[in-house]
Amino acid sequence: MFYFVLRSPKELGAFRWVVDAKDIGETKYERLWRQLVLPLMQSRSVAEPLSTLEGSDYSAFDRFCITKSDLPEHLKSYSKGYGGVNMKLLLEEDFTLGDSKSDPALRLVDVLASAFTRALNGQLRLEGCERLGTLMIARRPRTVKMARLSNEGAAVSVLVPYADIVDVFEATARSVWPSKSA
């Protein structure tokens, strides 16, 4: 959101989601998204308001915002005072399941995801993946967060075989802030 509010705030008025369909009908993971992930994101938007840049123009995004009085009763007690984001509207208003065989944009995303996976698996030489980090927005302290799952729970770890390539991604990730020459 910072990227667009700094460059083209009107872009925050509409979100178009095209997801690569994995089957002819809705899969169990797509149902999981709608039945579990979407409600969790809605709850989180109420409990942890979005970060915004003071003085920036978020007027195009206003239609996705919910006031505290308009929240469902079960969410009102979690609100930090302002309300939340209507995640259903934001994520489902213009949501389609596409096919990467016929959609060049989805095919490109498939190629990029495959390149990232191959880079992390050590199956793509540095020359083939060193610029992939330029497609990422730099975040601090880490752009790429890794977690190791065990019986004791999740633990953050950088002691993994692909840590070197992640460091390359980190070094080339782009800032969300516009350059001074822009």
Taking only the tens place, the pLDDT of each residue in 120-175 is 888 988 888 889 989 988 888 888 876 665 666 555 555 567 778 888 888 899 88
Q: Read off the tokens for 118.
A: 């191959």
Residue predicted with more confidence, 63 or 78: 63
Percent of the chain with pLDDT over 70: 90
Distance CA 20, CA 23 (A): 9
Distance CA 11, CA 8 (A): 6
pLDDT confidence of residue 80: 78
Q: Read off the tokens for 45.
A: 């938007």
Number of Cβ within 10 Å of residue 120's Cβ equals: 19
Q: On the CB side of 148, how many CA atoms lie within 13 Å of its CA? A: 11
Rounded to 5°, angle at Cα 12 from 10 and 17: 130
Residue predicted with more confidence, 158 or 108: 108
Q: Residue range 41-60: average pLDDT?
A: 90
Greatest mean pLDDT among 6-10, 39-43, 96-100 lies in 6-10
- The whole-model pTM stands at 0.70
What Cα–Cα distance (Å) separates residue 119 from each residue in 6, 57, 143, 171? 32, 39, 16, 15
Neighbour-count burial of 4, counting CB atoms closer than 10 A to its CB (0-12 exposed, 13-18 middle, 19+ buried): middle
Rounded to 5°, angle at Cα 131 from 125 and 136: 125
pLDDT confidence of residue 58: 95
pLDDT confidence of residue 10: 97
pLDDT confidence of residue 28: 82
Residue with tokens 């930090």: 80
